[in-house]
Structure formats: structure tokens, C-alpha cells
Structure 1
């Protein structure tokens, strides 16, 4: 219980601190570019046309809505985080209780075995997926609260009223918008991360007894593989967020501002054709695609 409470407090603190970053990221993901591109230089010193980065974008939001404006959707996100932590912990505890009652000891005494990696990854996958399924409605509300910035709407102003609005307009399925690509991305990322870390530690790095610094390198392998896995599965995150706000009655999710997708696969295909599968992945050094249009106070800039 104490561990769960500490996780709740830590998670809430990190959520509050990271919320402005997520807010800017979501607005960029849906294609909202309220500031005109400017000339800058890339990492090689060459002049390029760049879109505003995180700080310039955040400053623009503060100019319009004040500092509190950077925290739109925070309440529903905190609810999702707290509920997800509890569900995740309960599922893992149930799994441990179930395993303790079994007689099989296969792989239990060898945490470095591939069997152990599969067992632990499967357990974590079930826990994460269950938590995601339970908290996804709050995630949908969070995203819709955020993109209201685009059209200056107030349709989603609270958790309860947002729940009523979604149910009235879209039914139960409205709460699951974007769930499938989100689950797929989480599962693929988890397996890639754990399997890559296992193979690196087992077949690339020598045992710690032979090389003194290998133990330290092993501690970084999980973080490195996690970063790589998140980069590879980013398109799932993008598609999931776009589908969560797609055709939801807000300016940011309707034509002519945004396309209406028939399914998440249709969204994936269109983004792929446009070369936008990494949109929002970087919040700095954002090169402006040639020939694209950018909105600035209802005007258009090429």
C-alpha cells in the first residue's frame, strides 16, 4: 500500500511538471501551427526554415490564455494517472499471488533466462494494457480539452460534463477512440525494449566478472532500448491521439482544419502518404516541410 501511495504522489508530481510539454506536443500532433516559420540553422550550421519550438509555442499559449492555459486537461490526466497506477499495481499483485500458489519453478531461479524475460514481459503487458483500457476515457477527455485551444471552444470543460457529452454524441465507443493503436504501440514498445535489452546484455556485453564496467553498461541498456523502442513506435502514439479527437465536434478534429478518418488504419495511411508519421516527435529544431501551409490568426502562410 505504501509503495502504491508513493507511486501515486510521484506520478502526480511528474504529470503536473510535464503537462505543458504534452499540451504543446498534442497541438503540434494535430497540425496546429499558429506561428509563422522563421529562418534558423540546423545542427550543421546550415540555414533552414524552422517552425517554433517548445518554448516559443508555450509562450504563445501563455500570451493568449495565461500561465493557467498551459494546464488544460490536467484534471482528467491526473485522474487517469492515479487510476492507472492503482490498476497496474493490483494486476501485478494478483499475478504474484497466482504465481506463488503454483508449483512450477521453471525459470524462476534464473532471472537472466529468456523464459524469465518472456514471463516478466507478459505480466507487465497484461498490467499495462488493463490500466490503459480502464483509463483511456480520461485520456480522450484530456486530448479534447487540449485541442479546444484551436477553436477557442469550451465544449469539454469538466470531467463529468465531458463524459455526458461523449456518451450523448458518440455512445460507449466514443470513450474508446484511438484505443487500438495506443494498445498496439504500448505492447510493441514493451516487447522491443525488453527483448533488445536481453539480447544486448546476453550476447553483446560480457559478464560483469570479466569486465569491471560492464555492470554499469547493463544498467543503461534498458534506458537506451526503451528510448529506441519509443522512437520506433511513435507513429502509434500519433495515430492514437489523432483518432481520439477525430470528428469529435471540435474545430481541431473537423474539416477543413483536419481530415476525417474512417479508421485508424486510414489515418495511418494518410499520414504516411503525407510524410507526417513523425509529426510532433521533436519539439526542437523543427524543420518546416517545403510547400506546406501554416495558419496564423486565420491567415495562411506558405
Structure 2
């Protein structure tokens, strides 16, 4: 997905999948697994705990969520999670790319901080929140209001995809892009409006699988240990499914 967004190399998910295997063998499909786990496991846990706390504090017990309530709760919970986990989001995005060659997560954090300071570990925060917060709000609304009738993950992913493109550009190339507007203009000039939806298919697969399975695990069991184990397995398998598209090359 990172490869598709950055616009380098082959075009299309299957072509990139083949290119990664041909170039780096099968292990290339798992590039970026470690930072993904560091980000996703605590991030999703924080999201659900924040969602539960906010719902308990602000909503009437036993009353179904309204559409507006669902959107606001999802946005607020994801904002808390997104701000907290932004350093690992930056590391994950760069770790998956060809632009940076880190040997480990710790080295990545140290290198980014030593060269760019705290700003480097928070670059792309605004487009990240503009991508993730609306996604979670829309997903929760679709899930609670029209449960099982529409693919809520697909709709939420499509609506927020332009922000994913902007976020990836800003985090991969902080020297080239210093503001959200710069990236918006660059993508429009270089790729046209379709550039805002590059990488949409793999992202839809990834986000839909993860969101659907996360909610299934959360709602299907009250055993916290089983929830944790199931959730770890879910994250591992779903991230593996799309890891073949997590590459990038330099901006032309």
C-alpha cells in the first residue's frame, strides 16, 4: 500500500506483490511487521478502552447509539489513540518503504529523533487524524445504524483514502513536504484526482479485515485472555495478508 501511494515501481496490487517476491523473496512480504504490531496492538486496545470510557461517561446506559453519537464517539476515541501512537505510525510508514533502511524499530526511533527531533516522530499527525478519526466515526456509525447491511469498512476506507495518501507522503518525505496543502497540490499536479485514491484497494482489504475481526473478537467473548490471544492472531494474519504492498521508492 505504501508503494502504491508513493507512486514508484509497478502499478497495481498484484504487480507490486510479484515485484516484491521477485526482488526480496517471500520474506519481503512481511516487511514492517514489527512496527505494525507495536502500533496496532496498543493502538486498538487504547481505541476500544477510550470508546468504552467515553460511551459510559457521555451516553445513557442501555440506550442505542444515535448516528451522530456514534460518529462523535468514534472520532474522539480514534483521536486519542492516533495522537498517542503517532510516533509508531511514522516508524511503520518509513520502515515499510525503500526510502529508509532501518535495521530495527529501536534504531528507527533513535535515528528519527536524533536527526529530526520530536517533530520527526509526529510528522503527518494532522492527515493521520483526518484519515483515521473520520474512518472510525463512519465505521462505528455504519456498524451501529445499518449493521450487516453494507460493507462499512469499504465505505469508510474509500471516503478517507485521500488523507491516507497525504499522510504517507508527509511521513516519507518530510524534507520535501512541510504542510498538508503542499502534498495536496503535488498529488493533484502529478497524478490528477485519481492520485488521491492510489492504494485504495489494499487499504480497503486491510482496514476492512482488521476492523471487522477486531469488532467480532470484542463482541464475541468476555474472557480477556481469549480476547487478547485472538486479537494478536487476528492482527498478525491480517497484516500478513497485505504486507506485499507495503513498499515505496523515492518521489520522482
**TM-score when scaled to structure 2?**
0.69
Residue 220, structure 1, aligned to residue 136, structure 2: no
Residue 160, structure 1, aligned to residue 106, structure 2: yes
Residue 58, structure 1, aligned to residue 17, structure 2: yes
CA displacement, residues 206-242 of structure 1 (integer Å, 9 cap, x when unaligned): xxxxxxxxxxxx4334x43542332122110110011
Residue 240, structure 1, aligned to residue 186, structure 2: no
Q: Whose strand proportion is higher, 1 or 2? A: 1
Secondary structure of the corresponding residue to residue 147 of structure 1:
coil
The number of residues matched between the two structures is 200
Q: 1:82 to 1:246 in 2, by over 3 A?
A: same
Which structure has more RCO (C-alpha within 8 Å, separation ≥ 6)?
Answer: 2
Aligned mate of 1:281, from 172, 186, 200: 200
Aligned mate of 2:37, from 66, 78, 81: 78
Residue in structure 1 matched with residue 117 of structure 2 by the alignment:
171
CA displacement, residues 60-110 of structure 1 (integer Å, 9 cap, x when unaligned): 2122222111111110100111111221233234335535xxxx85xx565
Larger of the two Rg values belongs to structure = 1
Kindly report which structure 2 residues correspond to 1:23-34, keeping only aligned pairs within 5 A, or say none: 25-33=1-9
Q: Whose helix proportion is higher, 1 or 2? A: 2
Residue in structure 2 matched with residue 137 of structure 1 by the alignment:
87
Distance 1:195 1:143 in 2: 28
Residue in structure 1 matched with residue 132 of structure 2 by the alignment:
186
Residue in structure 1 matched with residue 243 of structure 2 by the alignment:
none
Structure 2: gaps of 5 or more residues: 203-251
Secondary structure of the corresponding residue to residue 32 of structure 1:
coil
Structure 1: gaps of 5 or more residues: 1-24, 36-50, 202-217, 249-259, 284-299
